[in-house]
């Protein structure tokens, strides 16, 4: 009965989203007050039903109800509890249900909380959100029903792909989905504003927290996904330019651009058309990402099933929404008033540069990701890998971070280049010193990592420059947020450059008792021993690691064999030290009794994810600061009339 209840809730939610769309369209056409007022509760009820359906699926997974086809195909009664729980979205149907649920909840949050938008724009926004939801409800109900029953009922389930059996599964997909789908709000805002021709600073201020929120989740999701791939796949890399990774990076790039342009619109009333366009582009990138990952056109851990019908369905949805939004943009954009002007050397100018560079990087990643699909359709099979992406995005990213260092130090509307250089004197000096140190101490370092290290220092210093000379306790929270987020980018860049410049690797076959060395460590291979977990067995190596005069510690990389499904995986063991990570992988044994070991010493690699965390923290501070400020302003506005009476 549980599965049927879930399915019924899903159908009802779909019906409510249709009602929400109809109410919205009717209210906009007739201008009926009552219709418009009904749309908010409908959006909230729709979210409640979608959440109920999702919880039902989680419950089915927790109980391992094998009469449900999805559970039987992806779960197993012996699976640890956390993977029964997270396994609910570790498959195609479940993850799409999570997608729709997040979409509905985001729409409900707008309906519930948003009080700044003019009524008609809000109605347009909720109607657009309902239109997106409707498409995805149809996708679930007609081609990816998670609640389908199975007959006869199997005695045991197939189990979950062992690579997904990791705590990361509980965290990474939901976070990323909140980001992906959160951007749909920006899209719906843009559609709502186009419908009512009301694109201005007020609209931008209303949209900004939603963009910021989605962007924080995207940042966290990408950072978590990168670290998960790094430790789980055992290849020692942290970013592979896998199309699925690109699918999450592209919305982030667009959302980052949007975040900056929406600030220009909110503060200065400029970049109106551009901001609306970016909102459409950002959501298009989420949809392209969903298409790439969910259509099965790519094969990877993320593509759970291959079914051409599903790919076609998502492609049609993509074309409908993006095409519709672009058509609306084309029809209405000439009615949007032109924004305020500014000089090229100004805060606005720097933010335009930021937007252009981000969009260029986005375009390059998009081309590199889609090109193999296009050539394959034409009959030639190629793959585009790190050589292309590093070559084309690396240099532009470096220019981008320079712009990032300069931008916050410029005044709005117009400024002088000479003044900027004076403000940047200290960071530039620091950059020169680090450059000198690098050339003297590590003369054989390659050009891109060298530039990365040097710029990271300068940019790190410059990004804190907006805080200099301020009374730190009275500095608004969103300024802190900006400085910390920019500093996080510099930290992350330093980690990437250091990893790429200074990583040392050792690949060797050893007998128990023999020793080797990598970086500053000497490593003795003590023994291998069998170990067992809840649904796997493994051989585990014991390594005694010593650094110069330091205390010895033990590391235990494993080669695991999962029982359901039967599949081997490699569990790397990673030791984190203040200045980097030692990464150890156990390979195969040979007839002479030797075991393969792959060891990496990666100085300061942890900075990559620490930086990502700082970027998200900066976003969070900015969000909190903005909301707090607005609340205070609202309070003050409410008090004023009363004072006038007194």
Partner 1 sequence: MKRKNQRLALLLIAVAAMLGAVLLAMSALKDQASYFYAPADVRAKGLPLGRSVRVGGMVKAGSLQRQPDGVTIRFLVGDDTDAVVPVEYRGITPELFRENAGVIAEGRFRADGSFAATEILARHDENYMPPELAERNGRPVHRTDSVE
Rounded to an integer, what distance in angstroms lies between the CA atom of residue 131 and that of residue 141?
Answer: 16
362 and 250 in contact (C-beta within 8 Å)? Answer: yes
Question: What is the 8-class DSSP label of residue 68?
Answer: B
Stretch that binds partner 1, among 120-128, 303-311, 425-433, 479-487 (CB under 8 A): 303-311
Query: Using the rule CB under 8 A, is 387 a contact of partner 1?
Result: yes
Query: Using the rule CB under 8 A, is 371 a contact of partner 1?
Result: yes
539 backbone dihedrals φ, ψ, rounded to 5°: -100, 135
Rounded to an integer, what distance in angstroms lies between the CA atom of residue 442 and that of residue 396?
Answer: 24
- Greatest alpha-carbon pair distance for the chain in Å reads 95
* Comparison of 6 and 339: residue with beta carbon closer to partner 1: 339
Rounded to an integer, what distance in angstroms lies between the CA atom of residue 479 and that of residue 468?
Answer: 11
CB of 592 to partner 1, least distance (A): 7
Query: Using the rule CB under 8 A, is 235 a contact of partner 1?
Result: yes
Query: Using the rule CB under 8 A, is 278 a contact of partner 1?
Result: no
CB of 76 to partner 1, least distance (A): 11
Task: Give the CA-trace dihedral at 77, 79, 85, 87, to 10 degrees.
Answer: -100
Q: CA end-to-end span of the chain, whole Å? A: 63
CA 486 to chain centre: 17
Question: What is the 8-class DSSP label of residue 643?
Answer: H
Rounded to an integer, what distance in angstroms lies between the CA atom of residue 116 and that of residue 122?
Answer: 9
* Comparison of 322 and 508: residue with beta carbon closer to partner 1: 508
The dihedral built from the CA positions of residue 72, 77, 83 and 84, taken in this order, carries a sign that is positive
* Comparison of 35 and 361: residue with beta carbon closer to partner 1: 361
**Three-state SS string across 273-331, please?**
HHHHHHHHHHHHHHHHHHHHHHCCCCCCCCCCCCCHHHHHHHHHHHHHHHHHHHHHHHH
Site for partner 1 in 313-342 (CB under 8 A): 338-342
Query: Using the rule CB under 8 A, is 274 a contact of partner 1?
Result: yes
CB of 13 to partner 1, least distance (A): 25
Stretch that binds partner 1, among 8-16, 47-55, 293-301, 632-640 (CB under 8 A): 293-301
Site for partner 1 in 550-579 (CB under 8 A): 559, 565-570
Which string of x and - marks every residue 132-171 that binds partner 1 (by CB under 8 A)?
------------------x---x--xx--x-x--------
Which string of x and - marks every residue 341-370 that binds partner 1 (by CB under 8 A)?
xx---------x---x--xx--xx--xx--
Which of 40, 598, 602, 626 forms a contact with partner 1 (CB under 8 A)? 598
Q: Which residue is listed with tokens 């391992």?
A: 64
* Comparison of 230 and 274: residue with beta carbon closer to partner 1: 274
* Comparison of 524 and 594: residue with beta carbon closer to partner 1: 594
Rounded to an integer, what distance in angstroms lies between the CA atom of residue 231 and that of residue 572?
Answer: 6
Query: Using the rule CB under 8 A, is 299 a contact of partner 1?
Result: yes
> In this structure, are strands 553-555 and 536-547 parallel, antiparallel, or unpaired?
antiparallel
* Comparison of 522 and 567: residue with beta carbon closer to partner 1: 567
Helix/strand/coil for 602: strand
Size of residue set near partner 1 by CB under 8 A: 64
Which of 15, 399, 426, 509 forms a contact with partner 1 (CB under 8 A)? 509
Rg (CA), the chain: 27
Stretch that binds partner 1, among 52-60, 298-306, 428-436, 548-556 (CB under 8 A): 298-306
Residues that bind partner 1 (CB under 8 A): 69, 72-74, 150, 154, 157-158, 161, 163, 233, 235, 271, 273-274, 299-301, 304-306, 338-342, 352, 356, 359-360, 363-364, 367-368, 371-372, 380-385, 387-388, 391-392, 507-509, 559, 565-570, 585, 587-588, 590, 592, 594, 596, 598
């Amino acid at each position: 009965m549980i599965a049927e209840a879930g399915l019924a809730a899903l159908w009802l939610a779909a019906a409510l989203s249709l009602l929400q769309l109809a109410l919205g369209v009717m209210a906009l056409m007739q201008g009926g007050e009552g219709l418009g007022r009904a749309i908010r509760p409908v959006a909230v009820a729709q979210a409640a039903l979608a959440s109920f359906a999702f919880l039902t699926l989680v419950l089915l997974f927790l109980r391992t109800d094998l009469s449900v086809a999805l559970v039987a195909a992806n779960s197993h009664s012996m699976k640890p509890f956390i993977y029964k729980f997270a396994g609910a979205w570790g498959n195609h149907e479940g993850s799409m249900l999570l997608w729709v649920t997040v979409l509905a909840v985001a729409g409900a949050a707008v309906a519930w909380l948003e009080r700044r938008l003019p009524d008609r724009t809000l109605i347009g926004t909720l109607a657009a959100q309902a239109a997106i939801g409707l498409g995805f409800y149809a996708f679930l109900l007609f081609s990816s029903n998670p609640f389908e029953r199975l007959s006869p009922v199997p005695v045991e389930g197939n189990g979950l792909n062992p690579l997904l059996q990791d705590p990361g599964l509980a965290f990474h997909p939901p976070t990323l989905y909140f980001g992906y789908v959160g951007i749909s709000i920006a899209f719906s805002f843009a559609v709502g504003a186009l419908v009512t021709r009301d694109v201005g600073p007020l609209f931008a201020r209303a949209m900004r927290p939603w963009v910021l929120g989605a962007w924080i989740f995207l940042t966290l999701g990408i950072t978590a996904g990168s670290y998960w791939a790094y430790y789980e796949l055992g290849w020692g890399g942290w970013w592979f330019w896998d199309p699925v990774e690109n699918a999450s990076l592209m919305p982030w790039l667009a959302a980052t651009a949007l975040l900056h342009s929406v600030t220009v619109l909110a503060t200065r009333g400029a970049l109106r058309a551009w901001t609306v366009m970016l909102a459409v582009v950002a959501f298009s990138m989420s949809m392209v990402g969903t298409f790439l990952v969910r259509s099965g056109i790519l094969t990877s851990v993320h593509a759970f099933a291959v079914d051409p019908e599903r790919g076609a369905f998502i492609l049609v949805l993509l074309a409908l929404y993006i095409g519709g939004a672009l058509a609306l943009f084309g029809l209405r954009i000439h009615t949007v008033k032109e924004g305020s002007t500014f000089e090229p050397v100004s805060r606005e100018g720097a933010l335009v540069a930021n937007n252009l560079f981000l969009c260029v990087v986005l375009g390059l990643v998009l081309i590199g990701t889609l090109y193999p699909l296009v050539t394959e359709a034409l009959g030639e099979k190629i793959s585009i890998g790190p050589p292309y992406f590093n070559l084309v995005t690396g240099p532009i990213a470096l220019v981008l971070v320079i712009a990032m260092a300069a931008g916050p130090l410029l005044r709005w509307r117009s400024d002088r280049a000479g003044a900027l250089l004076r403000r940047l004197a200290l960071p530039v000096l620091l950059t020169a010193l680090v450059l000198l140190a690098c050339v003297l101490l590590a003369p054989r370092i390659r050009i891109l990592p060298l530039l990365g290290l040097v710029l990271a220092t300068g940019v790190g210093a410059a990004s804190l420059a907006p805080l200099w000379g301020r009374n730190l306790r009275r500095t608004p929270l969103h300024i802190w947020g900006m400085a910390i987020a920019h500093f996080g980018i510099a930290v992350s860049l330093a980690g990437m450059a250091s990893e790429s410049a200074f990583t040392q690797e050792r690949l060797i076959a050893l007998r128990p008792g023999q020793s080797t060395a990598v970086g500053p460590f000497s490593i003795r291979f003590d023994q291998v021993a069998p170990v067992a977990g809840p649904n796997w067995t493994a051989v585990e190596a014991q390594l005694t690691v010593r650094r110069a005069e330091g205390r010895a510690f033990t590391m235990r990389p494993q080669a695991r064999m999962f029982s359901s499904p039967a599949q081997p995986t490699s569990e790397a063991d990673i030791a984190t030290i203040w200045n980097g990570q030692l990464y150890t992988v156990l390979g195969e044994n040979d007839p002479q009794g030797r075991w393969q070991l792959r060891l990496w010493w990666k100085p300061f690699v942890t900075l990559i994810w620490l930086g990502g965390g700082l970027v998200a923290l900066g976003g969070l501070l900015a969000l909190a600061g903005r909301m707090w400020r607005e609340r205070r302003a609202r309070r003050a506005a409410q008090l004023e009339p009363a004072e006038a009476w007194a």
